Amino acid sequence: MKLLVKRNLAVITAFLMVVGTFITGDIKVSAAGGDTTVYLTKTGEKYHSDGCSSLSKSKIATTLQDAVDKGYEACKKCKPPKLDSTSQAAALQANAVAAPAKTTATTTTSTAASNGDTVVYTTKTGTKYHADGCRSLGKSKIQTTLQSAVDKGYEACKVCKPPKLATASTAQAPQTNAANGVVEALKTYKGNTDEFNAYAYYTNNVDLQTAIGADGDKLLKHYNEYGKAEGRVAK
């Protein structure tokens, strides 16, 4: 009886050792360092192991660390390695050390975003605007300004997270557009003649822009009373 028990214990122990070996092996395979090569696709949001069926149309090599930093997740089909805890800790520590530089960069981006002439990119068919380098720009890349993109109804890409237009710029844009519209209307002012053009008189006489503004009647009156005698440009 005792001999039978000992044999059973030996069998169970051996079985547990084999299982433990497989489990340990799985852990080592499923976790890897940040420099491990994985693969991305042009449009997907997952990273893959070499040979995955999802790589049939596009295959972009990168490192595991880079893929994780950019927000890619592991493919559920090919089950590529995940970043080990050591690499994750190192990345967090590196980000913490670089925090002051990152703050400066964020401030710079914010300052640029407050000005509508910040360069962003759109695509032929999309409804988002993107930062340079976004993977959504793989098929088409149209350069424009942040102000123009917002005015046309484009929204910020959620993947690359380009700068957004600051509130001050958003409020300023309609005012600027309205002012430009009033000035443009001077081109068709009813009092325009071969001798006098309200638009030309306004744009060529900077002092009148502040003193009178884009008012055709007042500009014409000023020209007849003073500008003609002063030899001001009026056409």
pLDDT tens per residue across span 176-225: 666 678 888 999 999 999 999 999 999 898 888 888 888 999 999 999 99
Rg (CA), the chain: 33
pLDDT at 93: 61
pLDDT for 108-123, tens place per residue?
343 345 467 788 899 8
* Helix, strand, coil fractions of the chain, as percent rounded to 5: 55, 15, 35
Per-residue pLDDT at 170: 56
pLDDT of residue 75: 92
Handedness of CA 214, 189, 182, 116 (dihedral sign): negative
Count Cβ neighbours within 10 Å for each residue of 62-73 and write b for 16 or more, e otherwise.
ebbbebbeeebe
For the chain, list residues with pLDDT below 70: 1-30, 86-115, 167-179
Please state the domain extents for the chain. 31-97, 98-165, 170-230
The predicted pLDDT at position 193 comes to 94
Strand boundaries in 73-227, DSSP class E: 73-74, 82-83, 119-122, 128-129, 142-145, 155-156
DSSP state of 129: E
Q: Could you say which DSSP state residue 48 is in?
A: B
Residue 105 confidence (pLDDT) = 41
State the Cα angle at 65 between 62 and 67, rounded to 5°.
Answer: 55
Give the DSSP letter of residue 38.
Answer: E
pTM above 0.75, yes or no: no
Alpha-carbon dihedral sign for residues 37, 39, 40, 46: negative
Q: Which residue has the tokens 């005792």?
A: 2
Cα→Cα distances 75→25, 65, 140, 165, Å: 20, 15, 26, 35
